[in-house]
Amino acid sequence: MNTDIPYVFDAHVQPDERLQDAILYYHLDRALEGRLLPCSFLNAPPSGGVWGMDRSGLLHGRREMTQAAYANVDVLAAVGGCIIPAALVAQKIATSPDQGMTIRNLKDPLGSLRHMQPGDDSTAHLRSIGVTRDDPVVIHPDFDLRHLRRFMVVAGKITCESPMMFQIDLANTPGDDFHDLQVDASGNHFIDGDVAWRDKQHAAAEALLSAYPLPCGAIDVGLHEDEGEIRARIDCVISAPPGGLFPYMADMARHAAKIAEYVDELAPVRLDEMAP
């Protein structure tokens, strides 16, 4: 079924994000032989199924995708979290008074979250993410993970990966050995990669995918020291359509090829559903 696939371009992204979005679009357009249909938020089909970046969560179904991921028992187990009413957050924190915590509004788990340090007033944090006493929140330990790495996923399989550099210098991007690099603890500089570290991060992502085969999106994995040993932990799970998240410097040609392989399972919509 060769339907056209609407692809939205978000104006509210940084230059490095815009570049990577364009690279992915280029490879997808070639792989899908012109099936992509550029659109804006104004004429995107209301029924959903739109590809591309949507930072504000304006498109139909985007927030529901992230909600479903964080409501999944295997994702919760991977981050060491649970879903509780906001009214019970203070009680939950009291059980681990020396552990930092992350709280996420289940209605918007990627956009409405706070990292709490031991001793913080949970009331202010809950107010800032827009929840009331009865609203469900995801709460999980915050291990202050370092050397973060993003694993891009299609059909439950890792397609490519990238260290998560917070500010990429487009004028001085790494060479072909980029895959072997890590980011330093600050996330602002590249360092030579530690193969053992990367293997641990890859294994953590694969372990989650074996239980929860994410259809499309990414898994972020960081490292922390636990009793003298470096351990990998899941930092974030992102469920999104193709183009729906920043890939950093991951290989977009490989990613696009896998998307093309599973294109009819990634919810393309009919052209006649496009808004006028």
Which of 148, 108, 101, 147 lies closest to 129, judged by CA? Answer: 108
Which tens digits make up the pLDDT trace of 238-270? 999 999 999 888 889 999 999 999 998 885 544
Q: Quick one: pLDDT band at residue 187, thresholds 50, 70, 90?
A: low
- Other C-beta atoms lying within 10 Å of the C-beta of residue 264: 10
Nearest residue to 258 (alpha-carbon basis) of 218, 219, 216: 216
> What would the two tokens of residue 180 be?
């072997």
Which residues have CB under 8 Å from 2's CB, separation 6+?
35
Which is it for the CA torsion 23, 264, 45, 47, positive or negative? negative
pTM: 0.90
Instruction: Kindly report, residue by residue over 127-155, the tens digit of the pLDDT.
Output: 999 999 999 999 999 988 989 999 999 99
What is the three-class DSSP state of 273? helix
Average pLDDT of span 144-173 = 83
Close Cβ partners of 173 (under 8 Å, ≥ 6 residues apart): 249
Task: Give the ranges where 45-194 is alpha helix by DSSP (H).
Answer: 62-70, 73-79, 89-94, 122-128
Helix, strand, coil shares, percent, the chain, to 5: 35, 25, 40
Cβ atoms of residues 129 and 97 within 8 Å: no
**Which phi and psi (to 5°) does residue 234 adopt?**
-70, 125
Please determine, for residue 226, whether its predicted confidence score (pLDDT) is greater than 70.
Answer: yes
Q: Of how many residues is the chain composed?
A: 276
> Where does the pLDDT of residue 156 fall: very low under 50, low under 70, confident under 90, or very high at 90 and above?
very high
Q: Can you give the pLDDT at residue 176? A: 55
125-to-104, 128, 137, 144, 147 alpha-carbon distances in Å: 10, 5, 12, 17, 26
CA–CA distance from 162 to each of 181, 200, 268 (Å)? 8, 14, 27
**Is the pLDDT at 271 greater than 70, yes or no?**
no
Residues 6 or more apart whose CB falls under 8 angstroms from that of 79 comprise 138, 140, 141, 233, 234, 235, 237
Q: Which of 5, 28, 18, 23 is nearest to 53 (CA)?
A: 18
